[in-house]
Amino acid sequence: MLNIQKPKRYSAVKGDILYFTGDPRCEESTAWHHHPDGILLLEEGRVCFAGPASECPVTQESIATWYDYTGHLIMPGFVDTHIHPPQLSVIASNSTELLHWLDTYTFPAEGQFSDTTVCEEAATFFFDETLKNGTTTSLAMATVHAQSATALFREAERRNLRFITGKTLMDTHAPDFLTDTPKSAFDESLALIEAWHGRGRLGYAVTPRFAVTSTREQLEVAGALLGQAEGLHLHTHLSENHGEIETVKQMFPEAKNYLDVYDRFGLVGERSLFAHAIHLSDAEYERLAMSGAAISFCPSSNLFLGSGLFRMEKAQAHRIPLGMGSDVGGGTSLSPFHTMAEGFKVCQLCRTPFTATTAFYLATLGGARSLGLAASIGSFEVGKEADFVVIDPNATPMAAHRNERAETLEERLFILMILGDDRFIKATHIMGEPSYTRPA
């Protein structure tokens, strides 16, 4: 029998193409690729070509679907490396500092997720809002309830998203209605791993909330869970707040430092991501660098809760993988532009350079690298999954007015970073298909 192959049918996206293949802090001249009159060529949701329209390798007759975004910036979708979907209902809640904020707002809100309907409605709202802001991949922290993670996985699968989450582990220093036990933590997490990890574009993160809310026995369980399947992630908090750090010292006096608490239970490795990491010792930076673990830079919540200023220069000097995290609801916006702008302010206060190209790298390829997903997402290299965002740089009169004076790519990106919000997102595509389009 003859093997007659059907001719390939492509889709093409026309616009101002920008993506990163390196870190601008290290490879400034070759880190990014910019094609103002560009074509993004796709086949079955994956990138076939990204470059000048004049160099498109196929004829127009081969292109079945065109998306003409002339005048708009087309970039890989944004990656949020630390976010709490159950906390959207308490965003913008006033508080004195982290531990008070958790007790007063977060824990009561998360207690409502014992109701499956609440979980499902919250998951739908979460993805509606993140896609509206151009975020196509998230590492998210669910509640202690298994149904919270299940609802997020189901909704992410329905939308064909690359997404990572896990049931939160807490067996101490939390309200009774939010605690589990080491046994229930293991059993429920393992069931979720078996049901969802590696299914489609989904991944599972073993998720002790932070050392304050886990006993030694539960941290042992977290380490055991990481050995249950290939490619599991570890997601938790580290050194966000001085009060938290003192509590950890009292709970684990045998540990050399906060990071060492996790290290003693096998939780520090290449697929581990630690949110915040503001108040680290030199030994902790060195251990993170040696292990290949990553940090999520969450400037919005760090400023809002008065937690402190992240030392970008320290992480950079140790070459620790880094991504941007909104940390909503402690953070104050789901917009990656807002998170980048707050990051710039933190670095200004620390007298550390933070260019717009660095910010957009961290929000795309840098985030993908920090999650171990750079082989799949984060750039427009051939074969990668075509999650991308379409940005209108002149979405507001102020931005349009300011852009009249912009002369360089760095300047135009900086304007976006400072003035941008969800109004600047024209469309968000998942595996090449429109998943969100801004209403006219």
The mean pLDDT of 228-235, rounded to a whole number, is 98
The residue type of 31 is A
Given a contact cutoff of 8 angstroms between Cβ atoms, the answer to whether 295 and 268 are in contact is: no
Quote the CATH superfamily of domain 78-370: Metal-dependent hydrolases (3.20.20.140)
pTM of the predicted protein model: 0.96
Q: How many Å apart are CA 399 and CA 391, to the nearest integer?
A: 12
Is residue 221 predicted with pLDDT exceeding 80?
yes
pLDDT at 207 > cutoff 60? yes
pLDDT above 70 covers a percentage of the chain that reads 98
pLDDT tens-place string over residues 9-42? 899 999 999 999 999 988 766 899 999 999 999 9
Rounded CA-CA distance 272/23 in Å is 20
Q: What SS3 string covers 209-267?
A: CCHHHCCHHHHHHHHHHCCCCCCCEEEEEECCCHHHHHHHHHHCCCCCCHHHHHHCCCC
**pLDDT band at 98, cuts 50/70/90?**
confident
Across the range 53-69, mean pLDDT stands at 93
Please identify, in words, the CATH class of the domain defined by 10-77+379-437: mainly beta
Q: Which amino acid is at 304?
A: F
pLDDT for 350-403, tens place per residue?
Answer: 999 999 999 999 999 999 999 999 999 999 999 999 999 999 999 999 999 999
Eight-class DSSP state of 278: -
- In the chain, residues under CATH classification 3.20.20.140 are 78-370
Q: Please, where in the chain does CATH 2.30.40.10 lie?
A: 10-77+379-437
Using the predicted structure, report yes or no on whether residue 102 has a pLDDT greater than 90: no
**pLDDT score at 66:** 95
Phi, psi of 202 (to 5 degrees): -100, 150
Looking at residue 6, its pLDDT comes to: 58
Average pLDDT over residues 229-256: 97
Whole-number pLDDT of residue 95:
78
The structure tokens listed for 361 are: 């790298």
Helix/strand/coil for 173: coil
Residue 50, pLDDT > 60, answer yes
Strand-pair category, 162-166 with 202-208: parallel
Angle at 28 between CA 27 and CA 31, to 5 degrees: 65
